[in-house]
Amino acid sequence: MSQFVAVAYPDIAKASEVRQTLLKLQNEYLIDLEDAVVVTKNADGKVELHQPVNLTAAGAVSGGFWGALIGLLFLNPLLGAAIGAGSGAISGALTDVGINDEFIKSLATQLEPNTSALFVLIRKLTTDKVVEEVKKFGGTILQTSLSHEDESRLQEALNQGK
């Protein structure tokens, strides 16, 4: 079962740094991330979600390929590619994987202007090694699906890094 953790950071770039660290740890097989979304709130209070994968672009590329292939069968590959790319982009834009975007936006209302947060869905991890790496960034827990004891230990570790 996946674990959810959302941590707020006092500046706009910190959550991106932490996500990069987690991706490095994933390459070292110390953590298995299902999703990792960076949220920023600018000085005007506008909330932006920075997803690790652009599903609209991925859908357009995939749709374009399949559309061109089908278009070749009907002797009009350009029309097929255009239709495929359009339908792929639409399906990619309507697809939501990982953490629900509306849930993220509702939690992001708690953020102060010019701050960021990292929302992660973790399949599994080597706790001691991962916490050791991320505690140096500090942060304040917004919400987790961890037990009260584990959440308290994580917040204590993040407090040490401040």
pTM over 0.75: no
Report phi then psi at 98, rounded to 5. Answer: 80, -135
- Report, as an integer, the average pLDDT of 90-119: 80
> Is the pLDDT confidence value at 154 over 90?
yes
pLDDT value, residue 95: 44
Tokens at residue 23, please? 């991706």
Between 104 and 93, name the one with better pLDDT.
Answer: 104
Task: Report how far residue 40's alpha carbon sits from residue 115's, in angstroms, rounded to the nearest whole number.
Answer: 6
Q: In angstroms, what CA-CA distances link 104 with 5, 44, 122, 129? A: 11, 18, 16, 27
- Report, as an integer, the average pLDDT of 114-140: 94
Which domains are seen in the chain, by residue range?
3-52+98-160 (3.30.70), 55-94 (no CATH)
pLDDT value, residue 84: 56
pLDDT value, residue 85: 55
